[in-house]
């Protein structure tokens, strides 16, 4: 009987881990919505708003530049001037975010973006 709570806890843990965003499918979803984009493949940043975050939905491919910041990307969405949950995924660790933080209005995180990063921006009250 003592094993049942442990088994349920393990099931919940693995289900929660499986529900997170994944790099390759996320990028493919953004590319599917941006077929006419002409940004070179090695200079792309993929940006999307999380499902359920409220319209308008954003799926965009942005040209990478060194000065590009998380704040710049948040400001391209409806979360400009509000709290936003930001998750950054990279191909080296496709299911483990390299950045997963609440970004407050006016805050400029020092996290350095790289070409081919996948950035999800969403309502901080929704599960990520």
What CATH number corresponds to the domain at position 73?
Answer: 2.40.240
What is the tally of structural domains in the chain? 1
The per-residue pLDDT for 8 is: 54
pLDDT of 119 reads 97
- Domain extent, residue 56, equals 21-122
**Cα separation, 49 vs 39, whole angstroms:** 20
3-state secondary structure the chain: CCHHHHHHHHHHHHHHHHCCCCHHHHHHHHHHHCCCCCCCHHHEEEEEECCCCCCCCCEEEEECCCCCCHHHHHCCCCCCCCCEEEEEEECCECCCCCEEEEECCCCCCCCCCCCCCEEEEECCCCCC
Is residue 40 a part of any domain in this protein? yes
Rg (CA), the chain: 16
Determine the pLDDT at residue 2. Answer: 62
Residue 31 resides in a domain: yes
Distance CA(109)–CA(3), nearest Å, equals: 44
Assess if residue 12 is contained within a domain.
Answer: no
Per the domain annotation, does 128 fall within a domain?
no
Residue 44, in any domain of the structure: yes
Q: For residue 6, is it within any domain?
A: no
Integer angstrom CA distances of residue 66 from 69, 89, 111, 118: 8, 18, 12, 16
pLDDT of res. 115: 97
**What pLDDT is recorded for position 96?**
95
In a structure prediction context, what are the per-residue pLDDT tens digits for the chain, which is 128 residues long? 565 555 555 554 455 445 678 999 999 999 998 988 999 999 999 999 988 776 778 899 999 999 999 999 999 999 999 999 999 999 999 999 999 999 999 899 999 999 999 999 999 887 76
Residue 15 included in any domain: no
Strand order in the sheet with 84-89: 59-63, 44-49, 118-122, 84-89, 99-103
* Per-residue model confidence (pLDDT) at position 57: 82
Residue 5 domain-assigned (yes or no): no
């Amino acid at each position: 009987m003592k094993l049942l709570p442990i088994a349920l806890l393990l099931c919940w843990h693995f289900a929660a881990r499986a529900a997170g965003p994944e790099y390759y499918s996320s990028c493919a979803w953004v590319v599917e919505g941006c077929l006419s984009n002409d940004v070179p493949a090695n200079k792309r940043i993929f940006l999307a708003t999380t499902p359920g975050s409220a319209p308008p939905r954003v799926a965009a491919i942005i040209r990478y530049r060194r000065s590009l910041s998380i704040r710049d990307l948040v400001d391209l969405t409806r979360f400009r001037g509000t709290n936003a949950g930001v998750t950054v995924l990279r191909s080296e660790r496709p299911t483990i975010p390299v950045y997963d933080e609440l970004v407050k209005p006016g805050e400029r995180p020092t996290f350095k973006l790289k070409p081919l990063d996948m950035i999800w921006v969403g309502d901080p009250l929704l599960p990520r």
